[in-house]
Structure 1
Amino acid sequence: MLTNRQLSVTIFITILGLAAAYVLQIALAIGFAFGLMTLVLFVRRGGTAFRDILRSMGEGVKHTKEVIWILALVGVVIPTWTASGTIPYMIDLGLRIVDPSYFLTFSFVLSACISMLLGTSTGTLSSVGIPLIGLALLLQIPLPMVAGALVSGAFVGDRTSPFSSANRLVASSTGVSVKELFKALLPTTIGAGCITFGLFLFLDVKGEWHQGEKALLHEQFGTGFTYSIWLLLPVLLLLLSILLRFKTRNGFLLSIASAIGIGLFLQGVTLYEWLHAMWFGYHSRLFDSLQTKGLSNMVELIVLIGLAGAFNGILEENRVLQSYMQKLLGGSSASLFSATVRTSLFGLGLGLVSCTQTLPIMMSGRSLLPFWEERFPRTQLARVVADSSLILAAMIPWNMLAIVCGTIVGVPVEHYMAYASFLWALPLCTLIWSYGWRGRKNAVG
């Protein structure tokens, strides 16, 4: 168990290291390593054997395997989709059917609908986000706005869909059913959704998305690729695999394999060109807008995620934060609004330090539940966790969730965060709802 001072020093050094690395534009893993070493030092001083520390770090790294797989496969799927002709074909197809006048609103609504169906932000951004970003680039629509619309829509389902693993984690961590959770989330979902829809509709109305140039952009890439309806197969396979609840990484692998097969047959891509594109990214002398990154660009991020897993493993194994839970909610007379503020800040702090989405959800839910339900219904805790710990992680530049989202859409989180209105509208809506709930403490939900 760490003392208050040791915990404060660990948190300070971790956040300072990450922030410094981010500002200096060096590897985030370097900055995070200082916090990890500080935590290891304090836990070792507390009497924990070094062998046990290594074991807990190993267990923590194991829990990040799926995220590491996804990040690595995203680095491969984008260049393979591009080299096979799938992305160029979808962009040219989109130029014919999408009205640029309401591109942001369309992107948000489409992303939200797909994410509710799939229950995953990663699958949503990969299947619809990648081609829409390419389309926006050609239409000269500001990419941070488009990324904000796509990420906002993706987290409608990532948070709310009953198929979402994050949604089910909130339910299990707070001891409520998925149905009860959906009912508890409905008011803030509607509020944040209306704010987000209104913002993008306003931006579309006020923006000038070069409608006059639309006709000139048809068949932008047709001269460089052989087009066929089969080019949609990699995307459809990814969507279908997620709908059938296959492991996300298996869906990506299936999509990549189909893209390679189609590319070999239609585009004549050689084995060397495939390997080069998958590792270094796709590069074209004809089309500058199709340049992508490859697996080599993901190595630094994968190291960071592995270190974050080790950090979380030590926190969980040694129960570092449990003794501070009761103090967090304040006295027995604290209002729901006060408890909401404290819980949200706790989730934000965990997101800043742990670099994950899972740990803040689990710690905020499981650890606070015994103290929370002494005063308020557990459905209210579930709402607060879903509207803070689950969402806020996507707004932290060095959090692995934000890293994956930014990597897929090709826009760093700090560039699109101001436009990802669903992410920051939800915490505001949940604070307002908690404040208005003060007079209904004896209510059921």
Structure 2
Amino acid sequence: MIASNKKINVEKHTVHAWFVPLILMVGIVLVMIKGWPIYVGIVIGYVGAMLYALAVGSTWREVHRASMIGMQNMWRVCVVLLLVGVVIALWMVDGTIPTLTAIGSDFIRPSNVIWIAFLMSAVLSMVIGSSLATWGILGPPMLALTPPHLLPVVAGALVSGGMVGDRSSPMSTSVIIMSKAADLSPSVTLRQLLRTAILPVALTLLTFSIYSMGHATYTHMPVLHHVHLTQVTFLLIVPPILVIILAALRIPLLYNLIVAVVIGSIYATKVPHESVQLLASQLWRGYPLVILKKQFYVGGLQEMVQASLLIFTAGAFQGVTALGGAIELLIERLFARVHKASGMVVIAYGISIAFAMLMGSQSLATLMSGNTLLPQFARRNIDRRSVLRVIGDSSELVSAIVPWNLLGLQAGAILGISTLQFVPYAYFIYFALIGSIVMTWRAMREQFVLPSDLEMHKTWRVAGERTE
């Protein structure tokens, strides 16, 4: 009886369901105007979701429980993010990243740094299966070898390459999440994602190569440390190699990073003239780096703590939103107006991208997109592989260029480049999205059936079977 009354109450407040995403967007716009931390905007959206949940019949106890469950689901991601900040700072202190920079400086020039950044990032992300780890390993040395005016472009190339593996690597946890969201086996999911990644990768590499032709003049490369490439210094590249090996062995990223922290700490204690106080300061604020008389900090916990606050607030928001049921009501209303394949494509991709912008988490956006689209596609006789194509090239990838999404925030924090600065150069995301829309539309034109027609077809088939 309680559940029935709540359902009636939800239907009664359907017209107010827009209140939840509207308040969230108001909060995001407000913090961008005021320059406040992004998590403040999510808190504003959380208040709106909480008020709606109470209005449709939820109790304060249910709201609290949903909020806590949402935050608990985010703790592992927060720990990984904090460990990445520590690893990067340690690798700067012990000389690992400077050594990689010295090795790379022999062949990286302004004429090729852009496409090399994309290619190396794509290859490494396919091996590791994590854009986060890829940016942490390649970001600082590649950006240190980049002229200032090309920093946003190279950051866009690194983000593009990192998303190649995040979307299509057999080592990526996102592949498993997408297979669950689309109700497909991981092997089928991986084959589909690999097949559709080839053309966007080729177009992105071609675009960056053409862009690089206009920057062929040699520019002085900044030097982080004077590194002599001896047998001893080559030991410094062991940590990133070990990260790759452990990832290939499918060791979870959390434990992988813990190993990297332990080795990095041992190396850091062997660095001459590094006091405990100085090391602690670098681990908190990041490693101080001066390039062209401009100082900034690489890695460290300070920026990652801010990101963790955003993650927890996003988790609480998602939990309360699911409790109120506002999103489900809005989705049902949108799909009720679909009568053509083209409309289905527009709404499906629009919803998936909206989840990436509203949920604050790549994984949450992917799962919610799949869970939302799957029944709607099934009712219209559309194959599940189309659902995979939609979420794999929209909510999965677009999360990296949304400044307040966890992934976009991680990219900006790790690379030290504002998300809005590298957004225009994340070409792989755009090529994959455009190609996906075209392929999905072509598939839907052949499969699309209105729910009423599908039910009638089933009725005729059952009647025919009984007659026989």
TM-score by length of 2: 0.86
Identity across matched positions, percent: 25
Deviations 1:220-251 (A, max 9, x none): 62179997112112222322332222221222
What CA distance in whole angstroms lies between the structure 1 residues aligned with 2:328 and 2:444?
A: 27
Deviates more, 1:272-281 or 1:149-158: 272-281
- Shift in alpha-carbon separation, 1:266–1:288, aligned structure 2, 3 A: farther
Query: Is residue 307 from structure 1 mapped to residue 313 from structure 2 by the alignment?
Result: yes
Question: Structure 2 unaligned runs (5+)?
Answer: 1-9, 449-468
Deviations 1:351-378 (A, max 9, x none): 2222111222112212321220232111
User: Conserved in 1, the CA contact under 8 Å of 2:389 and 2:440?
Assistant: no
- Shift in alpha-carbon separation, 1:304–1:97, aligned structure 2, 3 A: same
1:211 to 218, 224, 227: 218
Deviations 1:312-349 (A, max 9, x none): 112234444334444433457421x4322211111122
Question: Structure 1 unaligned runs (5+)?
Answer: none
Question: Equivalences for 1:26-425 in 2 at 5 Å?
Answer: 26-136=36-146, 139-140=147-148, 142-186=150-194, 188-208=196-216, 210-211=217-218, 213=220, 221-222=225-226, 228-283=233-288, 291-330=297-336, 333-335=339-341, 337-374=342-379, 375-425=381-431
Deviates more, 1:272-281 or 1:432-441: 432-441
Q: Secondary structure at the match of 1:416?
A: helix
User: Conserved in 2, the CA contact under 8 Å of 1:15 and 1:352?
Assistant: no
What CA distance in whole angstroms lies between the structure 1 residues aligned with 2:402 and 2:219?
A: 38
Q: Give the partner amino acid of 1:81.
A: W
Q: Give the partner amino acid of 1:88.
A: P
- Shift in alpha-carbon separation, 1:27–1:184, aligned structure 2, 3 A: same
Q: Secondary structure at the match of 1:155?
A: helix
- Cα displacement (A) at 1:306: 0.7
Q: Give the partner amino acid of 1:153.
A: G
User: Conserved in 1, the CA contact under 8 Å of 2:224 and 2:289?
Assistant: no
- Cα displacement (A) at 1:308: 0.5
What CA distance in whole angstroms lies between the structure 1 residues aligned with 2:224 and 2:399?
A: 37
Question: Equivalences for 1:15-34 in 2 at 5 Å?
Answer: 15-34=25-44
- Aligned-residue RMSD, C-alpha: 2.6
What CA distance in whole angstroms lies between the structure 1 residues aligned with 2:29 and 2:226?
A: 44
Q: Secondary structure at the match of 2:225?
A: coil
What CA distance in whole angstroms lies between the structure 2 residues aligned with 1:379 and 1:11?
A: 28
- Shift in alpha-carbon separation, 1:50–1:290, aligned structure 2, 3 A: closer
What CA distance in whole angstroms lies between the structure 1 residues aligned with 2:243 and 2:194?
A: 29
- Give 1:429's aligned residue: 435
Deviations 1:77-135 (A, max 9, x none): 22211111112111111112435422211111111111111111111111222321222
What CA distance in whole angstroms lies between the structure 2 residues aligned with 1:407 and 1:31?
A: 18
What CA distance in whole angstroms lies between the structure 1 residues aligned with 2:138 and 2:69?
A: 34
